[in-house]
């Protein structure tokens, strides 16, 4: 994959596929496995849907800028809002990365990672929040337990099933093992730095100086630091 494809500044590597009633951009090597997983979930009684799939660089930048500027909340490890005014830029960087990826460094750029849920388990008049309690003890628990037992058989895994001090636990986030590993191997600090500087010339990225000053740590702690698939067997 090219640097632009790895960092979400183009979707030229993806194809539009109808999943349920909505079209999503998927990596072509993922499509068959994802559709088979959804079919198996349906047979097991779960109406599996995608809450979020591919996100391009600009969408991730908007989320990032909103949090860094204070327009959007920054959550702590318990999903509670932090007092942003008391955080230094370096502390803000780490706090945001616990829940939101750096633009250019999101697995959602690749077309092989998805936030999923079972629509038929979502209570009426309830909005999905994508918070751990929904899957670990709430309305998505049965679906999550089914995913844990069957995900690997379709080529997927949970990259954030364990809290390794980087991204917080995300029991809704599934990743296609073969495709994601190829992408992750090629996403280096140098490649990401070049893309960030280039994109900042088009539209500013909030906190770019503190990002670049800590980029090696960001990549090692929040991008490459995932739960390895073999640890979940």
Whether 170 is in a domain gets the answer yes
Whether 232 is in a domain gets the answer no
Whether 140 is in a domain gets the answer yes
Residues 106-134, mean pLDDT to the nearest whole number: 96
Whether 77 is in a domain gets the answer yes
CATH code for position 187: 3.30.1380.10
Residues of the chain above pLDDT 90, percent: 86
Instruction: State yes or no: pLDDT of 132 exceeds 50.
Output: yes
Dihedral sign from CA coordinates of 205, 210, 216, 220: negative
3-state secondary structure of 30: coil
**Of 191, 196, 221, 182, residue with least CA distance to 103:** 196
Name the average pLDDT for the chain: 93
The structure's pTM equals 0.92
Q: Are 48 and 42 in contact (CB under 8 A)?
A: yes
More confident residue, 87 or 150: 150
In tens, the pLDDT along 189-225 reads 999 999 999 999 999 999 999 999 999 999 999 999 9
Our CA dihedral for 51, 176, 40, 146, rounded to 10 degrees, sits at: -80
In tens, the pLDDT along 176-190 reads 999 999 999 999 999
Q: Into how many domains does the chain fold? A: 1
Residues 109-122, mean pLDDT to the nearest whole number: 97
Dihedral sign from CA coordinates of 119, 125, 129, 131: negative
Whether 131 is in a domain gets the answer yes
Whether 126 is in a domain gets the answer yes
More confident residue, 171 or 69: 171
Instruction: Provide the domain limits for residue 115.
Output: 3-227
Whether 78 is in a domain gets the answer yes
Q: Are 60 and 103 in contact (CB under 8 A)?
A: yes
Q: Are 138 and 76 in contact (CB under 8 A)?
A: no
Distance (Å, rounded) from C-alpha 82 to C-alpha 87?
9
**Of 64, 53, 61, residue with least CA distance to 25:** 53
In tens, the pLDDT along 7-29 reads 999 999 999 999 878 999 999 99
Residues of the chain above pLDDT 70, percent: 98
Instruction: State yes or no: pLDDT of 232 exceeds 60.
Output: no
What is the pLDDT at residue 230?
60
Compute φ and ψ for 156, nearest 5 degrees. Answer: -110, 165
Whether 64 is in a domain gets the answer yes
């Amino acid at each position: 994959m090219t640097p632009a494809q790895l960092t979400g500044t183009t979707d030229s590597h993806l194809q539009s596929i109808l999943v349920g009633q909505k079209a999503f951009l998927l990596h072509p090597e993922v499509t068959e496995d994802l559709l088979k997983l959804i079919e198996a979930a349906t047979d097991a009684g779960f109406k599996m849907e995608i809450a979020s799939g591919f996100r391009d660089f600009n969408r991730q930048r908007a989320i990032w800028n909103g949090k860094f500027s204070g327009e959007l909340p920054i959550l702590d490890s318990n999903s509670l809002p932090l007092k942003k005014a008391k955080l230094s830029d370096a502390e803000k960087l780490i706090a945001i990365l616990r829940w939101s990826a750096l633009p250019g460094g999101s697995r959602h750029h690749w077309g092989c990672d998805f936030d999923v849920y079972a629509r038929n388990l979502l209570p009426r008049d309830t909005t999905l929040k994508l918070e751990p309690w929904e899957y670990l003890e709430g309305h998505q628990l049965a679906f999550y337990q089914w995913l844990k037992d069957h995900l690997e058989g379709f080529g997927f895994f949970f990259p954030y099933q364990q809290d390794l001090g980087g991204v917080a636990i995300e029991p809704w986030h599934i990743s296609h093992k073969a495709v994601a590993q190829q992408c992750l191997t090629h996403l280096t600090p140098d490649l990401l730095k070049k893309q960030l500087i280039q994109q900042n010339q088009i539209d500013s990225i909030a906190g770019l100086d503190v990002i670049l000053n800590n980029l090696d740590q960001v990549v090692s702690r929040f991008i490459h630091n995932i739960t390895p698939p073999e640890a979940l067997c």
